[in-house]
Amino acid sequence: MDVLTVLLADHNVVLRLLRSLERAPREVEQARADLVTSLVITESGHEAVEEQYFWPLVRKMVPDGDVLADHAIEQEKTGKYLLRRLEDGPVGSPEFEEALATFVPAAREHINFEQTRVWPLLRQFCSTEQLEVVGEKMAAARKLAPTRPHPKTPAHPVVQKAGGMAVAALDRVRDLVTARRNRQPSGPWIRDRG
């Protein structure tokens, strides 16, 4: 599976969750909490593997890749602080609603930046084989990635691969204890597609 296929699958999940969160009435607190949990888990794993594999590839292969990567990693860092505020809840509190209202457009802008500004350049400057090789590594790492935001962990790929993955293991222990990943969002406002 190539790099962009792995990343696109996550982007589509995130976009569906954002739309569902916009559609869910405020009264359905548990459903909104479950949507946020799914969003936090998906985003945390996704940005972690981007920092480990995707941005280093962009920096290496794309002219001015550093400028693009630095900009995107700043967006991701801001996003992680907002995700932490969402995770802290409680749903419906002014802090939660303010963080959500900030996060939704920022997440869309970030995805749009990656897909329209960065992906075409990566396709242009990487071979099909290179995208496949890195994509396979990324898909494997994605299965073990963190499930919670860690905004204070540096985005550097070496730190992410070592410290980040140790933190990811702890995330998974905490998830097991709390059964956090067993909660699947449900409700008529859930968007299955598009």
Nearer to Fe ion, 59 or 183 (CB): 59
Nearer to Fe ion, 2 or 50 (CB): 50
Least distance to Fe ion, CB of residue 103, Å: 13
Least distance to Fe ion, CB of residue 109, Å: 11
Least distance to Fe ion, CB of residue 56, Å: 13
Instruction: Summarize as ranges the residues that interact with Fe ion (CB under 5 A).
Output: 50, 114
Nearer to Fe ion, 31 or 51 (CB): 51
Tell me which long-range contacts 178-187 makes (C-beta under 8 A, separation of at least 24).
Answer: 180/37, 180/41, 180/147, 181/41, 181/147, 183/34, 183/37, 183/38, 184/34, 184/38, 185/17, 185/20, 185/31, 185/34, 185/35, 185/38, 186/31, 186/34, 187/20, 187/24, 187/28, 187/31
Least distance to Fe ion, CB of residue 138, Å: 11
Nearer to Fe ion, 34 or 114 (CB): 114
